[in-house]
A and B are shown apart, each in its own frame.
Chain A
Amino acid sequence: MAVQTRAIKRRIKSVKNTRKITKAMELVAASKMRKAVNFVLASRPYSKLAWSTILSIGTRVDTSLHPLLARHDEVKRVLLILITSDRGLAGGFNTNILRKTREEIRSFGEDVELQTICIGKRGADAMKRLKLPVMASFVEITNNTKFEEVLPIGRLVIDEFTKGSFDKVLVAYTDFVSAITQKPLIMQLLPLQREVAEVDKVEEVAAGFSLRSSTELTFEPSPNAVLDSMLPRLVETMVYQAVLESAASEHSSRMMAMRSASDAAGDMIDDLTFTFNQARQAGITQEIAEISSGKAALEN
């Protein structure tokens, strides 16, 4: 019996250690999440307004005016920016975004040439496993991201698109809805356009009525000068926002995963303690029975 109780005791100890670790990771993730969420919420209004500005410009100027607006009739070459985390143990965070990405890739069909830019180690590894070409990989930037750190990605995308290397640029990222819900999303970054129906919806929200037939937009100093400085800036902002959303999602997803791991460890410890006490009790009972039967044998 002593052997069995000792084994259970050892098991309890190891589960307790695991719980300590998951608890610590939960706390770390929680504090990182708070920070990341603050960043996301602070920059959201900016990127939302920036986006609606793009959309209202995109619908009202000649799209051939600027290469970043021009829609390509044939979508042959697609660039996908995949934003994942650098580390694992974040629950379904990476799995969900990768599943969504794989579905999207499958929907392209055979004749589309795909290139990827990976932000985060996990995504780059997954792309390697899927044998997809990775044009560039950025790691260790998803934590406390600064705008300057994301700039090169935006520049790279803009350069490649302007050169005509791609017909379409997509971003796969995880949208931070709340601490418990995160939504994997695929967003079209370039060309800066949306389906007409969707544009109408945004416009209505933005201005209170449909603007499709409204007057021409005035640009100062000139359409080209404004678009040249505005569009790249807005593309960079969108990439930055996507990275921030992903970071906030990653940390809250990890926090939830670690919390449930700690809870599960607690349950397991309770269970094992119960079994341990039962085994101990059984051992004592057996010893007493042995002693008393030994004594009875001596007396007779």
Chain B
Amino acid sequence: MAQLQLSIVTPERIVFEDEVDSVSAMTQMGEVTILPGHVPLVANLQAGELRLKKNGSESYLVASTGFLHVQSGNKIVILADTAERVEELELGKIEEARDRARKLLDEKRHVDDVAFANAAAMLERELARHRVVTKRKKYKDVGKSLS
């Protein structure tokens, strides 16, 4: 069966580049799952989970806002502002960052529109990270105890 050629890139680095069987991502319209042979598509991404399936095993990533571009020829490009694998994330740090973002949000609420929007985006990103990490934590812990 044909496979999807997926690359996930952020301005800082290439997060993921490999062939996968399917990709699930959060768009503004809800979750979509892309299988091989999908029509060309461009969609806005929301902060949320990316689920990749390859040979029956799933791996998880967290992406913030960005774009999903399905090209013909089973090529998928995800341009995200930030993206990490679940294994790279630590719950403690996320909670810290989330609290910081909340505080910032309160501070800027009636002060600075741009900073407020930034803080809101930051909070949303941290919340998405938190959600995914808590959900997939058991996998992470297994990985930790093995290594």
> What is the interface of chain A, defined by CB distance below 8 A to chain B?
42-43, 45-47, 49-50, 53, 56-57, 60, 147, 206-209, 211, 214-221, 225-226, 229-230, 233, 237, 240
When distances are taken between beta carbons in the complex, the residues of chain B under 8 Å from A209 are 73
Q: Specify which chain A residues have a CB less than 8 angstroms from the CB of B32 in the assembled complex.
A: 220
Q: Which residues of A contact B42 (CB under 8 A)?
A: 53, 57, 217-220, 226, 230
In the complex, the 5 A-B pairs of residues with the closest C-beta atoms, listed nearest first = A220-B43, A207-B73, A218-B41, A46-B9, A217-B40
Task: Tell me if B112 is interfacial: C-beta within 8 Å of chain A.
Answer: no
Q: Tell me the bound Cα distance from A147 to B12 in angstroms.
A: 11
- In the assembly, what is the distance between CA of A53 and CA of B79, in Å? 10
Using a CB–CB distance below 8 Å, which chain B residues touch chain A? 7, 9-14, 27-29, 32, 39-44, 67, 69, 71-73, 75, 77, 79
Q: Considering the complex, give the chain A residue whose CB is closest to the CB of B27.
A: A220
Residues of B contacting A230 with CB < 8 Å?
42, 44, 67
> Within the complex, which residue of B12, B44, B72, B73 is in contact with A229, where a contact is CB–CB below 8 Å?
B44
Write the chain B residue with the least CB distance to A241.
B11
Contact of B9 among A45, A57, A147 (CB under 8 A): A45
CB neighbours of A240 from chain B (8 A): 11
Residue from the set A60, A209, A221, A237 with the largest chain B CB neighbour count within 10 Å = A221
Q: Min CB distance, B115 to chain A, in Å?
A: 11
Cβ B43 vs Cβ A43 within 8 A: no
- Complex: A207 Cα to B71 Cα, angstroms: 7
- Nearest chain-B residue to A39 (Cβ)? B12
Considering the chains assembled together, what is the distance between the CA atoms of A206 and B73 in angstroms?
9
B105 to chain A, nearest CB (A): 18
Given A50-B79, A220-B28: A207 and B67 within 8 A (CB)?
no
**Distance A233 CA – B42 CA, assembled complex (angstroms):** 14
Q: How far does the alpha carbon of A177 sit from the alpha carbon of B39 in the complex, in Å?
A: 36
